[in-house]
Amino acid sequence: MAKFELKLPKMGESVAEATITNWLKNVGDHIDADETVLEIATDKVDSEVPSEVEGTLVEILFQVDDVVQVGQTIAIIETEGDVPASAPAASSAPAEAKAVAETVAVAQDTVATPVDFSDSDKFFSPLVKNIAKEEGVSVAELEAIAGTGKDGRVTKNDILDYIKNRGNQPQAAAVKVETPKATPAPAAQTASKAAPVSVNGADEIVEMDRMRKLISGYMVKSVQTSAHVQSFIEVDVTNIVNWRNKVKNSFEKREGEKLTFTPIFMEAVAKALKDFPGMNISVEGDYIIKKKNINLGMAAALPNGNLIVPVIKNADQLNLVGMAKAVNDLGNRAKAGKLKPDDTQGSTYTVTNVGTFGSVFGTPIINQPEVGILALGAIRKVPAVIETPEGDFIGIRQKMFLSHSYDHRVVDGALGGQFVQRVAQILEAFDPNREI
C-alpha cells in the first residue's frame, strides 16, 4: 500500500488559489485514474480536479467553501502499487496537523464549543479554523486577533500566540473572553446580511449564486473605479452580411465550423488595437501598463443567465479562419461549463455582443483593469442615403451601432472616438470578394 497526495493543480499563471465547491467522492470511496474527485471554483470559472491514480480515498484535508492554494494537498488516496515518482510518498498535512495539536495541547484546557464562521466576513484558513474550534476560540475573538499574514490574515502562529497568552490570564478573565459581549453592528451592515422578507407572502426570495455574487462585485467595483464615457458610431456592414451569406455554407463544409459575425468583428477590433495601442493598456493605481500582446475578451452569456469572459490570446496573430475556430471553441466550452481557469485570464480589451438579444446599442461596463469595452449592436435593414457619382439615392442597407465605453481617467474623447471610428472604417472597407 502507498499513499498519494492529491494536490490542487496549477490552473494558469495568474491563478493562485481556488475554492472547493463540492466533493464528488467521500472517504472510503474507490477512485479510478482520471476520475473527478471534487469541483473547485476560481474567481471566474468552475473546474474539476481528477485523480492521477487509482485507489481509495482515505482522507479529505479541506471542506466545501475552503480556499486552497495551488500546490496544496487536498486529499490522500491509498493505492495498491507504488506512488508515481512525481508525487511525494506520504502526506505532510497530517504530520503538520499532529504537530499543531501537540503545540496547542499545552494551552489552557477549555471546553470546546461549536463555532460557526459563516457570519464572519474575514478569511480564515482551514488550519486556523480547526485550532479555533478545538480551543473554543469564538468568532469574535478570532476577528479581533491582529493577523500578520498577507492582507492581515490570521496565521497559525497568530492564533497559537493568542491561545498561549489567553491561557496565562486569570481564570475569570478567560471565562469572560470565552463569552464576549457582542458589539452592535452598524445598521447598514446588519441589513446587508439579513435575508429580505416578503411582505405579501407571494414574492419569491432567492439568494444569488456564487458566480452572480462575483459578477455583482466586479460590476460595482468597475463603476466605482473607472470614469466611464461612451462614444457611439453607426456602421454600414452590408458587404459583410452579403459576403457571409455567400461563403458560410462552404466554410462550414470545409472547416467543420460555423462562420458567425463575431470573428469578423474580433478581427477588426484586433487590427484597430494595433493602430491605437493606447487602448490596449491597463491601469494599476497611478501607473499605466502598456500591453505587448493583444488578448481579446469575449463576453458570453451562460445558460444559467450568468456571464463569463473567455479570452482569445494573441488575437492579432490569427487569420479569419483561426479567429472563427477560437471564437467557436471558447463559446462552446463556455456553454458546456468546460472552460479552464486560464481561458478567462489575461484579456487586454473586451468585446460584448448586445445585438444577440436585439439591442441596438448599449453602455457596457469596463472589464477591470482594462480601459475599454466595445458593444456590438444588432444588425438591421434600414433606409440609407447612398452616394454615387450619378447622385444620391435612398437604398436598403445593413447597419449596426458600435458602442464604445472607455476609462476617462486615461483615455480622452479623441482617442476613444478615433478607436471606434477605426473599427468602423475597417468593417466598412471589408472586401466583398474576399477569399477564405
* Residue 17 to residue 355: CA distance in whole angstroms: 35
433: left (phi over 0), alpha (psi -120 to 50) or beta: alpha
Cα dist from 73 to 7, 138, 242, whole Å = 4, 27, 56
Angle at CA 62, nearest 5°, toward 59 and 66? 170
CA pair distance 142, 160, nearest whole angstrom? 11
User: DSSP 3-state assignment of 259?
Assistant: coil
Q: Which of 34, 65, 209, 412 is catalytic?
A: 412
How long a stretch of residues is the chain?
A: 436
164's CB contacts (< 8 A; 6+ apart) are: 106, 107
C-beta separation of 77 from 71 below 8 A: no
**Angle, vertex CA 60, rays to CA 65 and CA 142, nearest 5:** 50
3 state SS of 84: coil
Active-site residue, 316 included: no
Cα 151 to chain centroid, rounded:
20
DSSP code at position 28? T
Q: Which amino acid is at 347?
A: S
Q: Active site includes 30?
A: no
Please list, in sequence order, all residues whose beta carbon lies within 8 angstroms of the beta carbon of residue 107, skipping any fewer than 6 positions away: 135, 160, 163, 164, 166, 167
Please state, in angstroms and rounded to a whole number, the distance separating the CA atoms of residues 150 and 146: 12
Return the closest-CA partner of residue 344 out of 49, 69, 41, 34.
Answer: 41
For 310-316, the CB contacts below 8 A with 24+ separation are 310/334, 310/339, 310/343, 310/344, 311/343, 311/344, 311/345, 311/346, 311/347, 312/266, 313/346, 315/266, 315/267, 315/269, 315/270, 316/270, 316/271, 316/273, 316/274
**What is the amino acid identity at position 121?**
D
Query: What residue has cell string 474623447?
Result: 413
The Cα–Cα gap between 133 and 115 comes to 6
Q: Catalytic one among 228, 316, 342, 408? A: 408
Give the CB-side neighbour count of residue 160, counting CA atoms within 13 A.
12
Q: Which residues are catalytic?
A: 408, 412
